[in-house]
Amino acid sequence: MLLLKPFSRNILISMSVALALLATACGRPVEEEPVIQVEAATAVSVNGDPIHVSEVELEAVARGLISPGQEFGPGDENYDLVLDQLIDQKLMAQEALARGLDKGPTAERRLEVARERILGNLLVESLVASEVNEDSIEAMYKEQVALQQEDDEVSIAHILVETEAEARALYQQIEEGATFESLVVANSLDSTTRMENGDLGYVSPNNMADPFPVVIANTKVGEVSEPFLSADGWHILKVKDRRTSPPKTRDEMRPEIVTFLTLNQVSKILRRLRTEAKIEKGEKSTHIVPDSALSLESEGDLIKEQPASEPQGREL
């Protein structure tokens, strides 16, 4: 769990346009994802109106069925499923246009709201691509590790060598079954700990130089870290024991960090836009909103009237 001050309820409601996007954004930095090109290749034509292959792929990515750049096309189960749904959507849209349902102030306003929602999502995508990157994720992870290891005491040992090649050769031996302890005496340059199996005793991670705190956080008890560089040389580190619960690893915390950073960027731009905007409240409407709303039920084709539900806020 991130040790961060939560956003206010009002800010979170204002940022709801971003939440649907976060499901696909959280797993990885957006700038690493292959860009889906909008191509003219037609998947199918519906009454002369084309649905492009790229539209099917974009829809599949938006639903989380595939990852951007993943091989995807006719014959794939998800491709055929999404295409069939887009065909149905196209047919219903064509019928709505044929009936003139896009005309009139109510319809036009609803279409404009849908356009505004899409533009908002495009803005969020742009913010994520430019601001939520590896550097910002790593910086916040380091902050979280420091907060979560404030009272931590960890027993560690290390092997210190001069070059990366030496460190990786030793790490390979450990991967192939050699024990950490068997490699210390003959290889470690740390004369203080070499005869003690590299033991550094119990340490407070936050009191150690970078990148030790993050390496310790990402190494479980009994496991050995991959080689890493410090001011003294190349290390392989073993976590022997912890007296407190370990913080989450970078991979475990990544979705939370990306979500927070995205919402934080949206919050910042909303505050700026609201400050700069001229917002004038209109007069009180005389229109009476009904106490109930229509919803589809599974019993046949009947449409039953259901009480309107109260809007739900979302807290972090």
Q: Are 266 and 11 in contact (CB under 8 A)?
A: no
Residue 149: which pLDDT band, with cuts at 50, 70 and 90?
low
Dist. CA 80–CA 59, nearest whole Å: 12
Q: CA-CA distance, 38 to 57, in Å (whole number)?
A: 10
The model's pLDDT over 88-119, given as tens digits with 9 standing for 90+, comes to 998 999 999 999 999 989 999 999 999 988 88
pLDDT of residue 316 exceeding 80: no
C-alpha atoms less than 13 angstroms from C-alpha of 178 in its C-beta half-sphere: 11
| CB contact at 8 A, 316 and 16 | no
Per-residue pLDDT tens digits for 45-100: 999 989 888 888 888 887 878 876 677 888 788 888 999 999 999 899 999 999 99
Higher-confidence position of 150 and 261: 261
Buried b (16+ CB within 10 A) or exposed e, 158-178: bbbbeeeebbeebbeebeeee
pLDDT for 289 equals 53
pLDDT tens, position by position, 10-48? 444 444 444 544 444 444 444 444 444 445 688 889 999
Q: Single out the residue of 63, 101, 99, 98 nearest to residue 81, CA to CA.
A: 63
Q: Identify whether the C-beta of residue 303 lies closer than 8 Å to the C-beta of residue 297.
A: yes
Cα–Cα nearest to 60, from 84, 38, 79 = 79
For residue range 112-146, list pLDDT tens digits in order: 999 988 888 888 878 777 778 888 888 888 887 77
pLDDT digits (tens, 9 = 90+) for 233-289: 999 999 999 887 667 788 888 888 888 888 888 888 888 888 888 877 777 766 555
The pLDDT value recorded for residue 300 is 41
Nearest CA to 190 out of 234, 253, 129, 242 is that of: 234
Q: What is the DSSP string of the chain?
A: ----PPPPHHHHHHTHHHHHHHHHHTTS-GGGSPPPP----EEEEETTEEEEHHHHHHHHHHTTSS-TT----TT-HHHHHHHHHHHHHHHHHHHHHHTTTT-SHHHHHHHHHHHHHHHHHHHHHHHHHHHSSHHHHHHHHHHHHHHHTTT--EEEEEEEESSHHHHHHHHHHHHTT--HHHHHHHH---TTTGGGTTEEEEE-GGGSPTTHHHHHHTS-TT-BPPPEEETTEEEEEEEEEESSPPPPPHHHHHHHHHHHHHHHHHHHHHHHHHHHS-----PPP-PPPPSEEEEE-SSTT-EEEEEPPPP-----
Which tens digits make up the pLDDT trace of 170-222?
A: 999 999 999 999 999 999 999 999 999 999 999 988 888 989 988 998 899 99
Higher pLDDT pick, 156 / 314: 156
Can you read off the two tokens belonging to residue 138? 């790593």
Residue 172's Cβ-side half-sphere holds a number of Cα atoms within 13 Å equal to 6
Model confidence at 165: pLDDT above 90: yes
Amino acid 222: pLDDT: 93
List the domains of the chain with CATH numbers.
150-246 (3.10.50.40)
- Please tell me whether the overall predicted TM-score, pTM, comes out greater than 0.85 for this model: no
